[in-house]
Amino acid sequence: MNRLAHFLLSQSWPQGDLDLLLRVALLPAADAAKCWDRWKAHHDLDDVTWEEHKLLAPIASRLPAIAPDCPYRPRVQGLAKAHWTTSQLVLRDSAAALDTLLEHAIPVMLLKGGALQAAGVSGSGPRISGDLDILVPRPLYPRAITLLYAEGWSSRDSREYAQSSWRFRSGLNLRRGLHGDIDVHHQPVPAPRLTDAALDALWARATPARFHGRPVVVPSHADMIALTAAHAARPATSRQISAAWAFDLIALLKQDGLEPEKVVDSAAALDAMAASIACLLYLDSLVPLDNTKRVIRELESHGIGARQMLGLVAAAQNSPSSAPLRRLAALIAERPKSHFERERQVVPRIRRLRLPLSGKTVTPLLASAGEPRLRHEFELGGAKLRGPGNLIIEIEFDRPSVARRFRFDIAVDAVPIARLGARLSKRAQKTRLTFSVPLPRVAGSPARVAIEALAEGEIPAKANLEQVLRAKPVPFRIARVALR
């Protein structure tokens, strides 16, 4: 492989602290000790990220050998045990979602850590999981979301918005209670949008397994390798940058019976050729394995074009200094064969009107409309909607005590038609918001409308009162509904 190709592929490798911690975990003791000294010279355990915590868990078992006198050792070992315990609670509580899906005859494929556990693939140390990744057939995805919402699982989106999310993204995070945390997918990679034929083939290659007593399937050995590399090299956002994938990939590469030709076939089918060779080259520089070299040779023999490599560079989420290179790579990279729809075209964003609009009132408001609630549902009177037209909605709530943004989802007959948004200062005098929402053509009468207040971001673990007030959804009242 020439230097330019190697440079392009290396742009997706773990950078900075994540790379340093991987070296602590994987290099021989003497080199690992030097890397540990470099890392702890510039870090405090109170400030490490979640992804760094996941790397510290396997490092904990090495500290007695590489840094026996390190003052961090008791805390790192204690944190590793605590995170492992929390992971088991997450997996236990999240597995309840499988019951809901299986009871309604929806097949479930586990991905990532859940798949490794179900398949009996273990690494050299404890694996820390933040959630359980679930794949369901794409045609059944909206129904799966509906069933999970009915059982108390929720996201930052309304149920109707979540049901339609398959059109513009690969999956959705849902939570329930203290430890229930699942990612429900209809395809196993963030991008590009895989064809139905590719997904059908993935399901056909899957193997039966059991997870906490539940019957599931897991990807084939080759598919797990390609999928691990795809998620590692092409994170959907900078918040998803990780390095713990290295331990999963090493564990998979150490399994007997690995067939390099099948790994190449899987990587090609999942649009992960460049990602696979990039991850394997990185691992080979740290932990040389015969299977790693065999797969690399097979990938190189099939060839990976420069445009695919540039596509990997464009998708990489690393340091800000590489942004110009990523933008240039995106301009000339091979475009994906298919795309998801644009989210804002599927569900338009509507800002509040500065002045009220007149319109014909179409429904008398029920008494419940005047009660502060997080969600209101009502029918548009007996009027037949001939569309297109505009629905005038006036929402009111108590004056905010902090400057913040307010968001609401609105759906007609279980189909999201807009996301409403407004930003108000804590000095705002008006707490009644007016929105004009374009209506699609609606068959039948009367139409069922649902409006739901949304959270504005996640609440940090150590949030103060102001952060909580900025993030929580706000109960609201419906003052008026009209057609224009």
pLDDT per residue of the chain (484 residues) written in tens, 0 to 9: 788 888 888 888 998 999 999 999 999 999 999 999 999 998 888 888 888 989 999 999 999 999 999 998 999 999 999 999 999 999 999 999 999 999 999 999 999 999 999 999 987 667 888 899 999 999 999 999 999 999 999 999 999 999 999 999 999 999 999 999 999 999 999 888 999 999 999 999 999 999 999 999 999 999 999 999 999 887 655 555 789 999 999 999 999 999 999 999 999 999 899 999 999 999 999 999 999 999 999 999 998 877 777 777 777 766 555 667 666 666 666 665 568 999 999 999 999 998 766 666 666 667 788 899 999 998 876 555 555 688 899 999 998 888 899 999 999 999 999 999 999 887 777 789 999 999 876 555 678 899 999 998 887 767 888 888 889 999 999 998 888 7
- Tell whether the torsion through CA atoms of 114, 117, 121 and 123 is positive or negative: positive
Q: Identify the residue whose tokens are 């868990």.
A: 57
Give me the residues paired with residue 391 across strands.
Answer: 437, 483
Sign of CA dihedral 438, 444, 447, 448: negative
Helical spans, DSSP H, in 360-423: none
List the one residue out of 103, 188, 173 whose CA is nearest residue 132. 173
- Residue 440: inside a domain, yes or no? yes
Same domain, 141 and 234: yes
Contact 283, 292 (CB under 8 A): yes
Instruction: Read off the pTM.
Output: 0.90
Q: Which CATH number goes with the domain that contains 360?
A: 2.60.120
351 in the same domain as 306: no
Shared domain check, 411 and 280: no
Q: Are 461 and 379 part of one and the same domain?
A: yes
One-letter amino acid of 429 = Q
Q: Cis omega before residue 215 (within 30°)?
A: no
Count of structural domains, the chain? 2
Domain of residue 187, CATH code: 3.30.460.40
Give the end of a domain, one of 297, 332, 367: 332
Asked if residue 421 is part of any domain, the answer here is yes
Could you tell me if 248 and 281 lie in one domain?
A: yes
Residues 416, 328 within the same domain: no
Instruction: Tell me the chain's radius of gyration from C-alpha atoms.
Output: 25
Which one of 285, 301, 332 terminates a domain? 332
Whether residue 310 is contained in a domain is answered as yes
- Looking at the structure, tell me whether residues 354 and 279 fall in a common domain: no
Strand pairing class (349-351; 415-424): parallel
CB contact at 8 A, 406 and 367: no
**One domain, residues 320 and 446:** no
Token reading at 404: 């913040």
Domain-located, residue 337? no
Q: Are residues 180 and 273 in the same domain?
A: yes
The parent domain of residue 368 ranges over 347-483
146 with 411: CB under 8 angstroms? no
Greatest Cα-to-Cα distance within the chain, rounded to the nearest angstrom: 78
Pairing of strands 477-483, 360-361: antiparallel
Is residue 340 domain-resident?
A: no
DSSP one-letter code for 326: H
Give residue 133's identity as a one-letter amino acid code: D
Give the C-alpha separation, 248 to 67, whole Å. 25
Looking at the structure, do residues 317 and 407 belong to the same domain, yes or no?
Answer: no
- Measure the CA–CA gap between 281 and 461, rounded to whole angstroms: 37
Q: Based on the fold, state whether residues 327 and 354 are members of the same structural domain.
A: no
| Cis-peptide, bond into residue 473, ω within 30° of zero | no
In a domain, 20, yes or no: yes
Residue 428 lies in a domain: yes
Eight-state DSSP code of residue 68 = T
